[in-house]
Chain A
Amino acid sequence: MKKINCLLIVLFFTGIVSAQDKYFTKTGKVTFDATSPGSPEQVEAIHKSVLCVLDSKTGNMQFAVTMKGFEFERALMQEHFNENYIESDQFPKSEFKGIISNNSSVNYTTNGEYKVSVKGKLTMHGITKDIETTGSLIIKNGKIATNSVFTVLLADYKISIPGLVADKVSKTAKIVVNCLLDPLPVK
């Protein structure tokens, strides 16, 4: 009986410990810039409610972005982004599921900046592609700031840029990711 109680307590604690391995945010930022060189107007947008979860134990890292949440300076550009390019009624979400390849070199309990490389699958506009990028994790007092910059080829995701707007919209998009992760509370 006692043994079992002990076992239960141990189980309970392992539950807590494993939950504290995870960090998350619901207010991550993603910006993209698809401006053609020499374009009179900036084709760029910002998203301020990106979901991100990081499992420090396994190095698994996942992001989710609702396409309609991208904010543009020009309202018409935002409408066209949703209607003609990313088709957000059909493909409302973009996701990245990947893993930090050098996770073992990151010490999550000490403050500091770590260079990491991330490998995974990016799903956007209904198409999934393997991508690999580098970034940094800055650990400060139990919180993690993640930063990464990478470029995607829009044609890879079947986002076509008609010739009419090619002087404004580039064939590639530079994507910047910035998230500040808090420890995931135990439920």
Chain B
Amino acid sequence: MKKQTHFAVVLFILICSFKVKAQETEDLLSLVDSGKTGKTFIKSAFKSTRVINGHSMEFLSPGTMDFRILHRFGQLDQGYKNFFGLDQASMRMGFDFGLYRNLMIGVGRSTYKKELDGYFKYAPVMQSTGNKSFPMTVAIAAGITMNTSPWADPTIKNYFSSRLAYYYQLILGRKFSERFTLQLTPTMVHTNLVAIHTQPNDVFALGAGARLKLTKRIALTGDYFHLFNGIEQGVNYQPLSIGVDIETGGHVFQLHFSNATGMNERAFINETTTRWGKGEIRFGFNLSRVFQLKKKAKTDS
């Protein structure tokens, strides 16, 4: 009896070892591949670091610079005489820099109010997959704008601080699939000096931005900010932009229609003076060209 059990054990081991062997010839890689995947951060949630007007959850890669040229044309309803608004243009030129995978800074200047702006954007957590993954990106953006046009009334005492405004933004975004990305951006804009005493110094808004990828290189985008205060009937409106992103390899073209002309947060949130309903829409585009400033160390052996 005892002999028989021993025999059975040996037979069992033998069978097992054969089984293992059979598997080994099939898949050698499973011998060394733990199957665990390291943490990888989600990239390409948007084609660009801006949805259209507002910041996106996307960051520039470290060591790159994004040169951005933005144009906003006149109203479409001006018709043929003004070539549907293309006769007038307001522009912003900007330089954005990627410092770390989750930190970028940028500066720009707009023709409207001869305004300078600068900002930083930082993500404490980023959407990732694999080990210790996180389902969404949480980022903050903060910026300052400075109006450099001549004082409206030079005869009175003017303060430098009157030129400044600030904005603070929280970006909560998720790339749901290869095609669809959605983000919400609660924003506060503080203006040191407002034009009329009825306008609030602090404006609160909730932004929403989305992307729907149509092909590998073309995507539909939408960008909307809902203002909770500071909307004055007949004076300003909620900015809504709808556009198409086209990536050509080196460039990203963001063509869009919008009722906003401002190209920094203060300008397009506080000072969108036309509305979609009346056909006061404008064509505009953002052109983005990314340059590699810092060459990665090539450790080719």
Residue positions of A touching B, CB distance < 8 A: 1, 4, 7-8, 11, 14-15, 18, 22, 24, 26, 29, 31, 46, 48, 51, 53-55, 58, 60, 62-64, 66, 68, 71-76, 78-80, 82-84, 89-90, 92, 95, 162, 164-165, 168, 178, 184
Name 17 extra pairs, CB < 8 A, besides A48-B299, A55-B25, A76-B290: A7-B10, A8-B13, A22-B24, A22-B28, A51-B29, A51-B32, A53-B29, A60-B28, A71-B296, A73-B292, A75-B64, A75-B98, A75-B290, A76-B64, A80-B247, A84-B216, A165-B249
A53, chain B: closest CB distance, angstroms: 4
Tell me which residues across on chain B come within 8 A of A8, comparing CB atoms: 10, 13
Which parts of B151-177 form the interface with A (CB within 8 Å)?
none
In the assembled complex, B232 has its CB within 8 A of some CB on chain A: no
Query: Interface on chain B toward A: helix, strand, loop, or mixed SS?
Result: loop
Q: Which 3 A-B pairs have the closest CB atoms?
A: A75-B61, A53-B28, A84-B216
Residue positions of B touching A, CB distance < 8 A: 3, 6-7, 10, 13-14, 17, 21, 24-25, 27-29, 31-33, 37, 40, 43-44, 61-64, 98, 178, 216-217, 247-250, 290, 292, 295-296, 298-301
A15 to B24, CA, bound (A): 12
Q: Which residue of A lies closest to B24 (CB)?
A: A55
B269, chain A: closest CB distance, angstroms: 30
CB <8 Å contact, B28 and A55: yes
CB <8 Å contact, B43 and A29: no
CB <8 Å contact, A1 and B6: yes
A70, chain B: closest CB distance, angstroms: 12
CB <8 Å contact, B43 and A82: yes
CB <8 Å contact, A95 and B29: yes
Q: Which of A18, A73, A76, A80 contacts B21 (CB 8 A)?
A: A18
CB <8 Å contact, B21 and A58: no
Tell me which residues across on chain A come within 8 A of B24, comparing CB atoms: 22, 55
CB <8 Å contact, A75 and B28: no
- CB-CB under 8 A for A184 and B44, given A29-B301, A76-B64: no
CB <8 Å contact, A84 and B43: no
CB <8 Å contact, A58 and B29: no
| 29 A/B residue pairs, CB under 8 Å, sorted by A | A1-B3, A4-B6, A4-B7, A4-B10, A8-B10, A11-B13, A11-B14, A24-B32, A31-B300, A46-B299, A51-B33, A53-B29, A54-B28, A55-B28, A60-B25, A62-B27, A62-B28, A73-B298, A75-B64, A76-B64, A76-B250, A79-B44, A79-B61, A80-B249, A83-B43, A84-B216, A84-B217, A95-B29, A184-B32
CB <8 Å contact, B178 and A90: yes
A162 to B292, CA, bound (A): 22
Query: Interface on chain A toward B: helix, strand, loop, or mixed SS?
Result: mixed
Tell me which residues across on chain A come within 8 A of B290, comparing CB atoms: 75-76
A51, chain B: closest CB distance, angstroms: 6
Tell me which residues across on chain B come within 8 A of A76, comparing CB atoms: 61, 64, 250, 290, 292
Tell me which residues across on chain B come within 8 A of A22, comparing CB atoms: 24, 28, 31
A146, chain B: closest CB distance, angstroms: 14
A118, chain B: closest CB distance, angstroms: 14
A162 to B218, CA, bound (A): 13
Q: Which residue of A lies closest to B292 (CB)?
A: A74
CB <8 Å contact, B31 and A53: yes
Q: Which residue of A lies closest to B14 (CB)?
A: A11
CB <8 Å contact, B32 and A83: no
A71 to B62, CA, bound (A): 13
Q: Which residue of B lies closest to A71 (CB)?
A: B296
Tell me which residues across on chain A come within 8 A of B61, comparing CB atoms: 75-76, 78-79
A66, chain B: closest CB distance, angstroms: 8
Q: Which of A31, A64, A74 contacts B33 (CB 8 A)?
A: A64
A139, chain B: closest CB distance, angstroms: 19
A71, chain B: closest CB distance, angstroms: 7
CB <8 Å contact, B44 and A82: yes
Tell me which residues across on chain B come within 8 A of A162, comparing CB atoms: 217
CB <8 Å contact, A26 and B40: no
A79 to B42, CA, bound (A): 11
CB <8 Å contact, A184 and B217: no
CB <8 Å contact, B31 and A184: yes
Q: Which residue of B lies closest to A85 (CB)?
A: B216
B228, chain A: closest CB distance, angstroms: 36
Q: Which residue of B lies closest to A74 (CB)?
A: B292
Tell me which residues across on chain B come within 8 A of A7, comparing CB atoms: 10
- CB-CB under 8 A for A164 and B32, given A11-B13, A46-B300, A55-B24: no
CB <8 Å contact, A68 and B31: no
